[in-house]
Every structure is written in structure tokens, then in C-alpha cells.
Amino acid sequence: MYAIALLGNFTILFIVKKEPSLHEPMYYFLCMLAVTDLLLSTSIQPKMLSIFWQWPYCRTNIIPHTYCEHLSVLKLACADTRISTSYGLFVLFFVTGLDVLFIIVSYTQILRAVFSLPTKDAWLKSLGTCSAHFSAILAFYMLGLFTYLTHRFGQNVAPHFHVLIASVYLLGPAMLNPIIYGVRTRQIRNKLLHLFSKKET
């Protein structure tokens, strides 16, 4: 999943950078999303390790996760974790708030461009693409919220279910976004096919 996420997101960034006709708000939005996916899936584990290295662990320092999830590590520490818990909540809501703000600004620009299109058919096609984008964003935030709430309040949830949902939350959107955005967007799809056909000749 991580390899597909890297390949897909770098491909979108490369195509939008190389093709001047794609230098429009919708494609800048796709690039912002691709960069977010790359940073999120690449930087979480090393940063978490650097934060959680100075804490003492009484029982074990092994977490039942595929990456160093904040709340999983907090539960193992024998120190006072109230500051870190508050910091984690602040970062969660601050980053999510900024994300939502940038998404609203981006969609405002996209919808402004869509409604300036000359035909109703073009409107519907563009709105269909936007609905796929919005579904992907909604899935990402819903999985994240579910992961956080089950850690915080779901004491009876099986540990392997936490691991599965947290891994899907982290890698799923990063892997699927290039497919949803790239394959469904005709200009990006055509440019990608053009690049491959040039290499084959």
C-alpha cells in the first residue's frame, strides 16, 4: 500500500508539473492532497519515535500496531501523560481545522470554475468528479475519527480491530486518492497514457 501511495502521488505531482494545461485550481488541489498523502504516510513513524524515545515503560515498550500511534504509546507509558494527551488533542483539531479550511477554499475555487463552464453537461461531469473527491476526503476523516474515538472510549473493541482500522486510515486514502483523482480526471489520465506510449516507442 505504501509503494502504491508513493508511486500514485508522485505520478500526479509529476504530470501536473509537466503539463501547462493542468495549471488550474482543481489540479493544484490534487497536488496539495498528493503532498499531504506523501507527508502523512512517510513522516508519522519516525516523528513519533523521536517524540516517545526520553518516556519510561513499566511493562513493555512494544505496541500492538503497525506504526507508532499516539494513543497506543501513551497507554504504555508509566509517566504522567496529561500534557502529551492535551497536545495530541490540540494537534488533532488544529491540523484537522486547517485541513478543512484549505479544502473549503479549494472547493470554492473549483466550484467557481465549474459554474463558469459553458454547458450543463460540463457542469454535471465536473460535479461528478468533485463528488468522488469529496467521498474520498469524507472516508479519510471518518476513519480517523472512528480510530480516535474507539481508542478513547471503546475499551471492548478487539486490539486487532484497532490495528486494522488504524492501518487502513493511514495508508488507504494515500493509496486510493491517486486512483480516484488521477484515473477519473480525463486530462491526467490522457497525459499519463501519452507518457507511457512515448516510452514504448
Q: State the average pLDDT for the chain.
A: 76
Residues 185, 129 contacting (CB under 8 angstroms): yes
Looking at 17-26, 52-61, 188-197, which range is the least confident one? 52-61
| Model confidence band, residue 184 (pLDDT cutoffs 50, 70, 90) | low
Phi, psi of 119 (to 5 degrees): -120, 155
pLDDT for res 158:
80
Residues 188, 18 contacting (CB under 8 angstroms): no
CA–CA separation, 167 vs 189, rounded Å? 28
pLDDT for res 7:
87
pTM over 0.75: no
Angle at alpha carbon of residue 140, lines to 137 and 12, rounded to 5°: 60
Q: Where are the domains of the chain?
A: 2-195
| Model confidence band, residue 167 (pLDDT cutoffs 50, 70, 90) | confident
% of the chain surpassing 70 pLDDT: 82
For the segment 46-78, what is each residue's pLDDT rounded down to a tens digit?
Answer: 555 566 666 777 777 777 777 667 777 777 788
Phi, psi of 57 (to 5 degrees): -120, 120
Extract the C-alpha cell encoding 127: 460535479
Whole-angstrom CA distances from 188 to 10, 138, 140, 178, 182 are 13, 23, 23, 10, 6
Q: How many helices (H) and strands (E) does the chain have?
A: 8, 0
Residues 29, 110 contacting (CB under 8 angstroms): yes
Average pLDDT on 110-132 reads 75
HSE-CB of 43 using CA atoms within 13 angstroms: 6
Inform me whether the pLDDT recorded for 105 exceeds 80: yes
Extract the C-alpha cell encoding 60: 513493555
What proportions of the chain, in percent to the nearest 5, are helix, strand and coil?
Answer: 80, 0, 15
Q: Classify 69 as helix, strand or coil.
A: coil
Inform me whether the pLDDT recorded for 28 exceeds 70: yes
